[in-house]
Amino acid sequence: MLDPYKIREEFPILKRKINDHPLIYFDNAATTQKPEQVIEAMKEFYENHNANVHRAIHTLSQESSELYENAHEEVAKFINSGGMEEIIFVRGTTEAINLVAYAWGLRNLKRGDEVLVTLMEHHSNIVPWENLSKINGFQVKYADVNNDGTLNYESFENAISRKTKIVCLSHVSNVTGVISNVKKIAKIAHEYGALVLVDAAQSVPHLPVDVKDLDIDFLAFSGHKMLGPTGIGALYGKREILEEMEPFHGGGSMIREVTFNTITRRCSVSLNDLPWKFEGGTPNICGGVGLMAAVKYLKDVGMENVKRHEADLTEYALRRMKECAKVTIYGPKDVSVKCGILPFNVEGLSSHDVALFLDSYGIMIRSGFHCAQPLHEKLKLKSSARASFYIYNTLEEIDRFAELLKEIE
């Protein structure tokens, strides 16, 4: 079983005080804190192995390259992909989705085609498709959500058709914590000949994810939401699809060779192997090392344990928050269908007022649209406050949170 009290000792920032109060960090859906193991791994890289990867034969470059490649391997194993060739390192979920949009969508989507997304999506899984549709002329369609924030599967099935070329959806909503049945969606999508892109920013850090079992074509996630550093994330893609795709970025490292033809006065470019053909330029090497350390940390904790701990925290928080007469909680209350994310509002106060009040007592939460304005409009909310939990949070912190919510009334 996961021991949050032991885990907390490995997170230096949790020893901080905010406004003379112990730091209670409930903004984990936005980004997570970093354990000493991740911090030390990155420090060790810069102190002892710093050099560019795949560029030189000297010792430091060989060490750096090995670490960077090992990071790809660890991520591949973590989500049970077919190998490091299917793992492309990017800056985060946003860049991963944009990579699919412009490296695959730009060449495969045309007027008359459709892209199907859902109304619960983060803006990063809406904006790239809307922008690209203005270039290629395809239509972006939206599957509806129910009043509790869960995906309306009937709406999805009514919206999909033979015109649908790719389905894009969040595994877990960053607003309500709802877990969508990705395996079911993938099966339906493939029956119509469509690919499936999953935004896993809120699922890979919080529950076991197996891309082979889900049978999805692309999976995007961020390192900073799973104990790793910012500026690093990963795109998983089925190898046969990645092989056919053209690169998103052009430059060094992503090519095998560039030769100049003196007759045509043109350069001929041959591409590098996977995954490097999608990682042009000097990558975030240290970020990859930090992500590898984060993955190893979570593997040691056990993703089933992470999921169970969050469910316990969420169930307890729901019970305590119901004691607050002016607090309204949104989304499903069944913890078996959601991760540790609780959106709420306090009657008579804006979400920002609530966040500022809690901040004065050292409690960090999110307020606003959470980069998911269409879902808020669907739920008829001007904004929401959001508490989100992780492996280092405790029942005592939730007690403090609930007591302060009573006080704010």
- Which residues are known catalytic residues? 371
- What are the structure tokens assigned to 299, written together? 């593997």
Q: Smallest Cα–Cα separation from 237: which of 282, 202, 274? A: 274
Nearest to 116 by CA among 84, 89, 146, 151: 151
The closest alpha carbon to 282, from 257, 249, 256, 260, belongs to: 249
- Show Cβ contacts of residue 347 under 8 Å, excluding neighbours closer than 6 positions: 326, 327, 328, 409
224, two tokens: 């900073």
Number of residues that this document lists for the chain: 409
3-state secondary structure of 74: helix
Q: Could you give the CA distance from residue 108 to residue 136 in angstroms, rounded to a whole number?
A: 9
CA separation, residue 394 to residues 146, 174, 360 (Å)? 31, 21, 20
Q: What is the CA radius of gyration of the chain?
A: 22
Beta-strand relationship, 366-368 and 384-388: antiparallel
In the structure encoding, which two tokens stand for residue 143, read together? 């599957």
Number of helices (H), then strands (E), in the chain: 15, 17
Which has the closest alpha carbon to 10: 43, 33, 42, 44? 33
